[in-house]
Structure 1
Amino acid sequence: MKNAALFLVSLFAFCLVQAQDSVKRFEINNNMPVYYEQMKSRLTYPMSWQSRKDMPFDLWKKQARDILFDCMDIVQPAPDGYDMMIIDSEQREGYKALKIEFNISGWARVPAYLLVPDGDGTFPAIVMLHDHGAHFLIGKEKMVRPFNVSAEIASDADSWVAKCYDGVYVGDYFAMNGYVVLSVDALFWGDRGCEEGIDYDCQQALASNFLQMGGSWGAYINMDDMRSVDFLSSLPFVADDRIGCLGYSMGGYRSWMLSSMTDRVKASASVCWMNTTEYLMTLDNNQNKGGSAYSMLLPRIRKYMDYPHVACIACPKPSLFFNGRYDKLFPVAGVSDSYSLMREVWDNASASDRLVTKMWNEKHFFSKGMQEEVLAFFNKWL
C-alpha cells in the first residue's frame, strides 16, 4: 500500500508538471505569435537597395516602385476632373484660407483646407498630412486652423495642436511664410468618418472589409495622398516643380511614402515616424496591437522591403527625418538602423547633402524648434 501511495503521489506530481508545461505551449503572447522572432528572421527584403546593389540605381528605383504599387492591390481610380469648388473663405495675415471641395478620386469627393499666400505669381506648395493619434473627430483641422465650424471642432483642434504641435497650426505657419498649403482628411478622420460616429475598434472592421474586397485601407490613404499632390500641381498659382509634403506621426509615414510614390513631390519631411520591423514587431511595442497599424499597412510589402527601404525609393530627393530620443513608439535602435540604411543609399547616389536625419531630445512631439528647422529645409530646396 505504501508503494502504491508513493506511486500515486509521483504520478500526480508528474501530471502537474505536464499541466504546467501545457500552459507554456499556448501560441499567443501579448497579441504576438510566440515564434515571432523566427518569422522576422525569414524577412530578407530581396528588393531593398542593399540586396540589389549590382543593379543600376534608376532601374532598382523603377522596379522597387512597381512592387510598391503592386502591393497596394486594388486601389481607387484617378478622377476624370477635380471640379474644385470654394465653399467658404477667410482672409488671414498674409494669406487666404479657403474651404474647398474637389474630386480626390473617381469614387470620392472630399472637403479640404487650401491656404493661398497673398500676391501674384506662383508659389511653392506643401501637402500637409495629419497624424493618427487615435483621435478621429478632426483630421485636416490638426494642420490648419479651422473657421466657421462648431465650437466643439474649434476647441478640439486647439487642444490637439497644443498637445502635439507645440500650439502651432503648422499649415498656417507655412502659409504665413509663402507656401500654398493643402490639407485633406484621410479616410476615417473628420468629415470622412461616418454619421454614426467611430471609435478605435472600428479601424479593424474597416481594414478587414478592405482586405476582403482585394484592397487595403492603408493603400487607399496613400493613393488619396498622391491624388492630392496631382490636384495641387494643377492649380495655376502653384509652382508644380516646387511641391513638397510634410507630416508628423502617421503623417510622417504618409510623407515619406508619398515621396517614394510620385516624382511630383520634390522634397519631403517626416517627423516621428521611421523604424524597422525588427524593432517595431516586439512584445511591448504599440505596433503589435492592431487597430492603428492598419492605416499604415500594405499587407504584402514586407516580403520585399522594410520601411526604410521603401523610403529610399525617394532618393536622391531632399528628404528630412526627425525622431524623438524619448519616443516610446519608435525605439532608438530601430531609428538608428533606419538612418544608417538610408544614409548608405543617399551617399551612394552622391546626394549626401539632401538627406537630413536628426534625433531630438523629445518624446512623440512636433516642437516649434523642429518646425523652424523643417521650414528652413523647405526654404532651401523649394
Structure 2
Amino acid sequence: MWAPDVYLEERYKMTKQSYGFNSSSISLWIDQKELLKEKLIELLGGFPEEKQSLNAIVIQKEEFEEYTIDRIEYSTYLHMRVPAYLIIPKNNQKTRPAVIACPGHGYGSKECIGLLPDGSFNKGDPTIHKNFALELVKNGFTVMVPEILGFGDRRLEEDQDKDPKENSCYRLATNLLMMGQTLIGHRVYETIRAMDYLNTRSDIIHSKIGCMGFSGGGLVTALTSAVDERIKATVISGYTNTFKDSIMAMRHCLDNYIPGIINCCEMSDLIGLIAPRDLFIESGVDDPIFPLKGAQTTVSKLKEIYNKYNADNNIEIDVFNGEHEVWGKKAYLWMKEKLYMV
C-alpha cells in the first residue's frame, strides 16, 4: 500500500529528456548531439583542462610464438599511473590497426587476455570475458588493455588482499560523487588517454583504431566512443539497453550511475552520439542484468538514428543464445572488416 513503485514510474515519465534524439531532422540532431556531448561530459564530472604528460614506459616484456605482451604504464590524472597490457601480433606488418579492450567486472585486465589473477595462463575454460582481447590479437590487431580504475591491480590498498574478483567501485564511486565527480567519468577520461598513447606509436595506423568493451567495460566503450571521434569502430557487448530496464530496474554496481543523466536522455541517445561511425552491438537472449527487452528497444532507436544519416550499413546487431557474456563470433570479424579491409 505504501510502496513507492508508482511514484518512481510516474517520476520517470515526467523526465523531459531534453537532449534526446530529434527524429524530425538530421540537421537538428547534429546540432543537438554536440550539446548532448557537452552535457554528458559535464555530468560525468568534466575532464581536466590540461592533460598530464603520458610519460609512458615499458615495465615488462614477454615474447610468445604468435605475439609479444608489453606491460606498460602511463599517467592520466595527477597522482595517477595506469598499467596496461599492449599485445602486438607477430605478423610481419610494420604498422597495423589497433583496438582498446575494456573489461567489465571481474579480476581486471588479465581476465580478457587469458591470464589468471596470479599472471599464469588460464588452461581451463575462459571466463565470461572469453579472452576477447586475445581473440582480437589473433585477428591481427595490436590490442591495448588498460587496467580499469577500481579493478584488478587498480583497487584501493584496503582491497588488494581480497578475492581477486572483488573491486573498489563502491568507495571510489561514493567518494567521487561527494566531490561532484563520477567513477565512470574517470574511466572514460582514462580511455581517452589510452587513445592518446596509441596515437604516439609509429607502429599503429592512427586512423584505424577501434574499441571493444564488455558489461561495465561496454559502458566505458560506449561513452568514450561517444565523446572521442578518433575511435572509428566500436563493439559494445553485454551492455546496450535502456537505463529504465537495466540499472534503474535492479541493483547494479554504483559505477554505472551518472547523476541527472535521465533528465537529459536515455541510453540510446548517448550511444547514438557514435553515429554515423561504425557500431556493433551484441546481446545475450538470457542476459539477466541487461535484459533483451531493453536491448531491443535501444537497438530500434539506434537504427533510426543511423537511418537518418543514411548509414544503415554502419550498425550491426548480434543477438545470441547466451547470458551475460562476450560472444564475439561475429564481432571479431566485423572489427577486422571495418579496420583492416577498408
Displacement of 1:34 after TM fit?
Answer: 5.5
1:233-252 map, 5 Å: 233-252=199-218
Contact 2:94 2:203 in 1 (8 A): yes
1:96 and 1:170 map into 2 onto residues whose CA distance is 16
Cα separation, 1, equivalents of 2:59 and 2:29: 45
- Deviation at residue 330 of structure 1 after TM alignment: 1.9
Percent of aligned positions that are identical: 21
- Residue 201 of structure 1 deviates from its aligned partner by 8.8
Distance in 2 (alpha carbons) for counterparts of 1:116 and 1:340: 37
Structure 1 residue 39: Cα displacement: 1.5
| CA–CA separation in structure 2 for the residues paired with 1:241 and 1:117 | 19
Q: 2: distance between equivalents of 1:58 and 1:193?
A: 39
Name the amino acid aligned to 1:153.
D
C-alpha distance after superposition, 1:28-81 (max 9, x if no partner): xxxxx6521111111231111136747444322222211111111244455432
Matches of 1:242 and 1:349, distance apart in 2: 21
**1:281–1:210 Cα change, 3 Å:** closer
**Partner residue, 2:304:** 344
Query: Whole-Å Cα distance in 1 between the matches of residues 113 and 44 of structure 2?
Result: 29
The answer to whether residue 329 in structure 2 is matched with residue 372 in structure 1 is yes
Q: What is the deviation of 1:306?
A: 0.9
The Cα shift of 1:195 comes to: 2.2
Q: Structure 1 residue 231 and structure 2 residue 203: aligned?
A: no
Aligned position for 2:152: 190
Paired residue for 1:101, among 68, 73, 80? 73
Structure 2 residue 118 is the aligned partner of structure 1 residue 153: yes
Query: How has the CA–CA distance of structure 1 residues 160 and 208 changed in structure 2, closer, same or farther, with 3 Å as cutoff?
Result: farther
1:105–1:227 contact (8 Å) kept in structure 2: no
- Structure 2 gap ranges (5+): none
Q: Distance in 2 between matches of 1:303 and 1:51?
A: 18
Aligned to 1:322: 282
Residue type matched to 1:67 in 2? K
Deviates more, 1:42-51 or 1:325-334: 42-51
Aligned residues of 1:126 and 1:245 also touching (Cα < 8 A): yes
Offset at residue 226 of structure 1 (A): 1.5
1:205 aligned partner, one-letter code: R
In structure 1, the residue matched to 2:15 is 43
Please say if residues 71 and 83 of structure 2, whose CA atoms lie closer than 8 Å, have aligned partners that are also in contact: yes
**Contact 2:110–2:117 (CA under 8 A) maintained in structure 1:** no
Structure 2 CA distance for partners of 1:163 and 1:121, relative to 1, 3 Å: closer
Give matches, 1:349-364, under 5 Å: 349-364=309-324
Aligned mates of 2:14, 2:288 — CA distance in 1: 26
8 Å Cα contact 1:219-1:297 kept in structure 2: no
- Verify: 1:333 aligned to 2:293, yes or no: yes
Counterpart Cα distance in 2 of 1:261 and 1:46: 19
Partner residue of 1:84?
56
Secondary structure in structure 1 of the residue aligned to 2:224? helix
* In structure 2, distance between residues paired with 1:152 and 1:262: 31
**1:343-373 CA distances to partner (integer Å, 9 max, x unpaired)?**
0000110000000112111111223xxx231
Question: For residues 281 and 129 of structure 1, what CA distance do their matches in structure 2 show?
Answer: 19
How has the CA–CA distance of structure 1 residues 131 and 372 changed in structure 2, closer, same or farther, with 3 Å as cutoff? Answer: same
CA 1:189 to 1:77, structure 2 compared with 1: closer, same or farther past 3 Å?
A: farther
Tell me, yes or no, if the aligned pair for 1:77 and 1:107 is still in contact at 8 Å: no
Identify the residue that residue 8 of structure 1 maps to in structure 2.
none
The whole-number CA distance in structure 1 between the counterparts of 2:133 and 2:113 is 5
Which one is further off, 103-112 or 48-57? 48-57
Is 2:165 the counterpart of 1:172?
A: no
Contact 2:111 2:127 in 1 (8 A): no
Query: Following superposition of structure 1 onto structure 2, how do residues 58-77 of structure 1 map, counting pairs within 5 Å?
Result: 58-76=30-48
**Structure 2: which amino acid aligns with 1:254?**
V
Distance in 2 of aligned mates of 1:104 and 1:141: 20
| 2:251 corresponds to which of 275, 289, 294 | 289
SS in 1 for 2:144: strand
> Are 1:76 and 1:107, in contact at CA under 8 Å, matched by a contact in 2?
no
Q: Is 1:143 the equivalent of 2:112?
A: yes
| Alpha-carbon contact 1:75-1:215 (below 8 Å) kept | no
The amino acid of 1:93's aligned partner reads E
Q: Structure 1 regions of 5+ residues with no counterpart?
A: 1-23, 28-32
Q: Judge conservation of contact 1:271–1:366 (CA < 8 Å) in 2.
A: yes
Name the stretch that deviates more: 219-228 or 86-95: 86-95
Return the alpha-carbon distance in structure 2 between the equivalents of residues 306 and 159 of structure 1. Answer: 41
Name the structure 2 match of 1:255: 221
Q: Which of 100, 104, 122 is matched with 2:95 structurally?
A: 122
Residue of structure 2 in register with 1:13 after alignment: none
- Deviation per residue, 1:262-321 (Å, 9 max, x gap): 011001001111111232266xx4xx325x1x2122212211111111000010001000
What SS does structure 1 have at the residue aligned with 2:244? helix
- In 2, distance between residues paired with 1:192 and 1:278? 30
SS in 2 for 1:225: helix
- Conserved 8 A contact 1:76-1:220: no
| Contact 1:93-1:176 at 8 Å conserved across structures | no
Q: How many residues align?
A: 334
